[in-house]
Structure 1
């Protein structure tokens, strides 16, 4: 078949997008911090060593207020969009962050999440049963995406039939550098959709997060914009991490048949294995952009006040000074000290839910498709075109080998 018949060849992906770890290793070796420049010339300090990353994540001198970060960027380079148009608890600082997080914390406790296991199991089984008779499937589109999206829609109280639109909007927003016009359009459409659903929910209260948020607004604890921002964060953040985890974990098993065989023999080790998958390929490779509110000493190097800072979770989780043989996948490593969910005040609120989804989903794959194999070649795989996330655009597999 000719190239013309196949359609246009997709553009070659940047080496860092395909495999960021050699670059992150060089950054760690260069010193405690490095300075990189965006395509627009915006300087950003990068922290990638485990102990420095962990310290930075817990240091209140690294601010996350999106509006202040954008102001700092605007002073240096005109026309740079950092993507923080929607303000929510992930890109805000105390006391706003504390107030917003406290409102929904109860929905994500270990006890409440544990009670969701039957729901996650039902969704997992139903999705895998639908794939059983196919010769090939896209594990990302057909399983890794719909599973967490259906779960988060149930938790928030959002219509799951719109999940394809949610995925499209999420991708455009998180890869805003690729197409600023698409970013603006997606942000507007998603905001409008959230507003419509909120109006409907006011007349139909349920035991979900939307109803809780509306009640909080009526009590003066939230503004209308904060409700939209909260739903925006939960809808996108509530599925993106798990999508990436399931895709990269499955690929890791296919790349490491010895580890795949070990996990099939040691099913009780799944919770610890999920931690190793999270360490090995951190779904969020780069934490939310930070800035220094005062001078900060990072292992002998001072970052002045008012500087933009990238904190590399992926770099920290591959630091050989913290994890021996860090570039190897070792499902019996027995070390849950990874920073894939962050650390400190902004540690991922959905960590328990993400781990539960990972355990149930991977157990389902092992049960349903013990001979699972990659369909095609690894060179054809496409990775999400963003330094923030580490995930596959698609993963073609043969369920029966």
Structure 2
């Protein structure tokens, strides 16, 4: 696992592993882990209270040689690495921040950001739909929500990307400290200078009824900026790639726009923007698919593999933008289900609607098989999407 061929197309390997057994022990990397590739087993594990996400309690599993990582606490002990009751307590303000009503109120601003990005492309013949569109849209949305100045956003993007690079962990560890230090300074600034942003609202809530420590607030802010744009950027890029490589989906712009919600859902299943869920640990022995996993073991759940399990999905390797009986697992399942799922789909829908309305004809400028993919164990998307843009003709006078 985790070589160039895997990053380009992990599904042949996932299929082979699942056919052997949907739960297998893998020995690669710094520590052994159990990989789940089956849909039923993944769904069960995602909601299993016998599994822990508290990485601080299982450092001996992650570092069997005693050499622990130097990850900033704001990253290592985030909401994603906690169990109830701490997880329940820390998740509450996140859930309040992303209610359907509050999310939908962002629609006009997201539409404006998308329109501005498309306007910047209007005079160009070619563009990289990842760097020029898929990334800046959700990054701008979450940075505006948190009150991050425009001049600081490129650095945050670079550090965030570096957090997920496969390879030398020292590079990832350094990025974790950079982004944590920045968010610490931002929280400190907001304590004395409040604004009309999500971070100020969280601080106002903490002033009235404290539920988080200062360190936990920094960690939550850090999670917002990272999780708030990474997977959405991947989703926009992955869905755009589905359209670019399937001319039949683009033959009638009006039909494409009408089908866009289901196209996005199928893109989520077909190429999950988060290929492998955040790590879990066994508190006690557990059994999935007649395979017993002992206590004190690391578990990785492949959402991407589960979404293409032929036991749960008919023709799983065929992109079919029609409703399927089983829901995909790309936003997780159970108590850790992504609270930003609605916002991610809203941003993707607005982004692609705006793009396709302005440029109804989009063409990749290189074969799909030659596209570079993110070198990341978790994040799944092309690194670039070099695209030829063809604007819609101006309306004819009556």
TM-score of the aligned structures, taking structure 2 as reference length? 0.92
**Mapping of 1:219-368 within 5 angstroms?**
219-261=209-251, 264-334=254-324, 337-368=327-358
Is 202-211 or 160-169 further displaced after alignment?
202-211
Equivalent of 2:47, from 58, 66, 84? 58
Which residue does 1:194 correspond to in 2? 183
Q: Distance between the aligned counterparts of 2:89 and 2:170, measured in 1? A: 33
Which residue does 2:383 correspond to in 1? 393
CA contact (8 A) 1:46 1:309 kept: yes
Q: Does 1:136 align with 2:126?
A: yes
- TM-superposed deviation, 1:66: 1.7
Q: Distance between the aligned counterparts of 1:385 and 1:81, measured in 2? A: 20
- TM-superposed deviation, 1:251: 1.2
Which residue does 1:164 correspond to in 2? 154
Which residue does 1:375 correspond to in 2? 365
Runs (5+) with no aligned partner, structure 1: 1-11
Q: Distance between the aligned counterparts of 1:327 and 1:237, measured in 2? A: 27
- Counterpart secondary structure, 2:317: coil
Q: Does 1:67 align with 2:56?
A: yes
- 335 and 274 in structure 1: CA distance in 2 versus 1, 3 angstrom threshold: farther
- Counterpart secondary structure, 2:34: strand
- TM-superposed deviation, 1:25: 0.9
Which residue does 1:9 correspond to in 2? none
Q: Distance between the aligned counterparts of 2:26 and 2:152, measured in 1? A: 39
**Mapping of 1:5-154 within 5 angstroms?**
14-40=4-30, 42-74=31-63, 76-79=64-67, 81=69, 85=73, 86=75, 87-154=77-144
**Mapping of 1:209-228 within 5 angstroms?**
209-218=198-207, 219-228=209-218
- 167 and 182 in structure 1: CA distance in 2 versus 1, 3 angstrom threshold: same
- 185 and 313 in structure 1: CA distance in 2 versus 1, 3 angstrom threshold: same
CA contact (8 A) 1:146 1:163 kept: no
Give CA-to-partner distance per residue, 1:12-55, whole Å, 9 cap, x none.
96111100011111121111311112333x21001111111011
Give CA-to-partner distance per residue, 1:269-315, whole Å, 9 cap, x none.
22222111111110000000001111111021111111100001001
Which residue does 1:7 correspond to in 2? none
Q: Distance between the aligned counterparts of 1:82 and 1:94, measured in 2? A: 25
CA contact (8 A) 1:217 1:224 kept: no
- 51 and 111 in structure 1: CA distance in 2 versus 1, 3 angstrom threshold: same
- Counterpart secondary structure, 2:276: coil
CA contact (8 A) 1:172 1:179 kept: no
Q: Distance between the aligned counterparts of 2:205 and 2:83, measured in 1? A: 20
- 334 and 369 in structure 1: CA distance in 2 versus 1, 3 angstrom threshold: farther
- 29 and 144 in structure 1: CA distance in 2 versus 1, 3 angstrom threshold: same
Q: Distance between the aligned counterparts of 1:94 and 1:270, measured in 2? A: 37
Q: Distance between the aligned counterparts of 1:67 and 1:84, measured in 2? A: 12
CA contact (8 A) 1:105 1:349 kept: yes
- TM-superposed deviation, 1:82: 9.3
- TM-superposed deviation, 1:96: 0.7
Q: Distance between the aligned counterparts of 1:214 and 1:36, measured in 2? A: 43
- TM-superposed deviation, 1:174: 1.5
Runs (5+) with no aligned partner, structure 2: 392-398
Q: Distance between the aligned counterparts of 2:256 and 2:242, measured in 1? A: 17
TM-score of the aligned structures, taking structure 1 as reference length? 0.91
- 226 and 28 in structure 1: CA distance in 2 versus 1, 3 angstrom threshold: same
CA contact (8 A) 2:124 2:389 kept: yes
RMSD: 2.0
